Amino acid sequence: MADRKPNKKSNNSKDRRKSNNSGDEDFNPKFRKVRKKVCLLCSNKDLVLDYKNAEQLKKFINEKGKILPRRATGACAKHQRDITNTIKRARHIAILPYTQG
């Protein structure tokens, strides 16, 4: 009797937010607003990479001793290249480890 149509309920919840709480990474999907990441070395002209300065270079490697990618360091292409070269130079003279842990 009750000839009811299946009413179209559009239940597509757009914001199915995955709660990936890996607070390790620098980017957070909550912050959709494009926060312009400026290159550390471009913004600070006084900062000069030094392969003998391990403390400075430790900012660009993770705990395993790997070189961080650009999305983590925020460096521009030119400076990421410089960072990579400097870290490799530092590794060669055993200031930084190749691997750790």
Contact call for residue 42 and Zn ion (CB under 5 A): yes
Report the residue number, 78 or 88, with the smaller CB distance to Zn ion: 78
Contact call for residue 91 and Zn ion (CB under 5 A): no
Q: Provide the residue type at 25 as one letter.
A: E
Q: How many residues does the chain have?
A: 101
Read off the DSSP letter of residue 38: P
Q: Are the CB atoms for 76 and 69 separated by under 8 Å? A: no
Contact call for residue 39 and Zn ion (CB under 5 A): yes
| Distance in Å, CB of 68 to Zn ion, minimum | 15
What does the alpha-carbon distance between residue 72 and residue 5 come to, in Å, rounded to a whole number?
Answer: 52
Contact call for residue 76 and Zn ion (CB under 5 A): yes
Listed ranges 22-30, 39-47, 51-59, 64-72: which one lies at the site for Zn ion (CB under 5 A): 39-47
